[in-house]
């Protein structure tokens, strides 16, 4: 049974740990529904959703875990694949309506650029509108003024932003910034209601996964595939070999790809791993 409810737009919040995603969900919900934390938690592409009513509409807000390190090691890649597969399964029926990119006020860090690529380019194939939310601006004389003074680097980086909000996602100790917090809630309602009228992006699941896994691999391990962005099984298998994955690691990844539902991973045959196909089929049936 799909975990999404028909007609409810999926909105994915992403950004580095500590950027204020969970606080923002609590602010929009008007309640402490998402756990906030100053420290890192979870794995890349881990996602948890919250149904939040706004005016006459209801949204499903996804609190996700982005990339906090410059790149993933093979284990991190395996876990990211697992989480991406789960996320895509949860999203495939309704698709994705909007991405919300959370950053703390400051310069664009390498981590922010990585997360932009990971979610906008790789997860969503540059097809989903993206709104930028800049948090921790409660001490600015004018929160909106921050954007006017700092927007140039975002343009230079080539971010395709359809809207933005300069906010205070937390009311501060003793609710000292409660006025800015209230102003923020109104801004977020306006952003949500104005940027969620377009149709959701809803690619075919297998194509989505194969492309995502291939691009993630290519991007993370820094080797380019022979056929550009649309890597097939063959490319993925060659890519895994090129980026130094061992036979065991390749089989582990292949077994996860088989979980997608194709039933076979022909790339293993082309790598001369045909004997292992049986063990992959076996892994497939493990709990």
Ligand X SMILES: Nc1nc2c(ncn2[C@@H]2O[C@H](COP(=O)(O)OP(=O)(O)O)[C@@H](O)[C@H]2O)c(=O)[nH]1
Nearer to ligand X, 120 or 273 (CB): 120
**Residue among 9, 10, 11, 22 that touches Mg ion (CB under 5 A):** 22
Residue nearest to ligand X as judged by C-beta position = 20
Angular region, 228: left φ>0, alpha ψ -120 to 50, beta rest: left
Per CB under 6 A, 115 contacts ligand X: no
Helices (H), 50-177: 74-91, 110-116, 143-150, 152-157
Q: Which is nearer to Mg ion, 22 or 195 (CB)?
A: 22
Binds ligand X (CB under 6 A): choice among 23, 196, 210, 250? 23
In the complex, minimum distance from the CB of residue 21 to Mg ion, in angstroms, rounded to a whole number: 5
- Which of helix, strand or coil describes residue 150? helix
Which range binds Mg ion by CB under 5 A, 16-24, 71-79, 97-105, 193-201?
A: 16-24
Interaction of residue 136 with Mg ion, rule CB under 5 A: no
How far is 253 from 244, CA to CA, in rounded Å?
A: 13
- Measure Cα distances from 39 to 42, 130, 230 in Å: 10, 25, 36
CB of 189 to Mg ion, least distance (A): 21
Q: Is 250 in the site for Mg ion (CB under 5 A)?
A: no
Nearest approach, Cβ of residue 176 and ligand X (Å): 10
Based on the shown chain and the rule CB under 6 A, indicate whether residue 17 belongs to the binding site for ligand X. Answer: yes
One-character DSSP codes across 32-45:
--S---SS--S-TT
For residue 135, state whether it binds Mg ion (rule: CB under 5 A). no
Nearest alpha-carbon partner for 133 in 121, 146, 122: 146
- CA dist., res. 140 & res. 160, Å (int): 25
Choose, by CB under 6 A, the member of 10, 11, 12, 21 that binds ligand X.
Answer: 21
Q: Which of 187, 107, 110, 191 has its CA nearest to residue 154?
A: 107
Report the partner that residue 18 touches, choosing among ligand X, Mg ion, none (CB closer than 5 to 8 A by kind): ligand X
Residues 6+ apart with CB under 8 A from 88: 205, 208, 209, 212
Q: Which of residues 131-160 bind ligand X (CB under 6 A)?
A: 135-136, 138
Cα gap 90→33, rounded to integer Å: 20
Q: Which residues bind Mg ion (CB under 5 A)?
A: 21-22
Q: Which residues bind ligand X (CB under 6 A)?
A: 15, 17-23, 36-38, 102, 135-136, 138, 168-170, 172
């Amino acid at each position: 049974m799909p975990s999404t409810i028909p007609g409810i737009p999926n909105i994915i919040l992403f950004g580095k740990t500590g950027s204020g995603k969970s606080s923002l969900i609590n602010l929009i919900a008007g309640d402490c529904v998402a756990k906030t934390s100053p420290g890192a938690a979870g794995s890349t592409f881990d996602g948890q959703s919250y149904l939040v009513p706004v005016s006459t509409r209801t949204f499903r807000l996804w609190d996700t875990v982005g990339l906090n390190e410059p790149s993933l090691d093979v284990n991190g890649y395996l876990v990211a694949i697992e989480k991406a597969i789960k996320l895509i399964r949860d999203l495939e029926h309704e698709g994705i309506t909007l991405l919300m990119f959370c950053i703390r006020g400051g310069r664009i860090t390498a981590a922010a650029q990585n997360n932009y690529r990971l979610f906008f380019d790789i997860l969503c194939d540059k097809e989903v509108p993206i709104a930028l939310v800049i948090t921790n601006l409660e001490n600015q004389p004018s929160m909106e003024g921050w954007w006017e003074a700092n927007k140039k680097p975002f343009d230079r980086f080539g971010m395709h932003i359809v809207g933005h909000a300069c906010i205070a996602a937390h009311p501060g100790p003793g609710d000292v910034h409660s006025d800015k917090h209230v102003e923020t809630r109104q801004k977020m309602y306006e952003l949500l209601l104005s940027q969620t009228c377009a149709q959701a992006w809803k690619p075919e699941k297998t194509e989505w996964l194969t492309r995502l896994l291939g691009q993630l691999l290519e991007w993370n391990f820094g080797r380019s595939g022979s056929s550009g962005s649309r890597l097939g099984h063959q490319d993925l298998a060659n890519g895994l070999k090129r980026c130094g994955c061992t036979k065991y690691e390749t089989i582990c990844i292949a077994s996860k790809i088989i979980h997608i539902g194709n039933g076979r991973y022909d790339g293993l045959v082309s790598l001369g791993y045909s004997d292992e196909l049986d063990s992959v089929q076996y892994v497939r049936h493990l709990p």
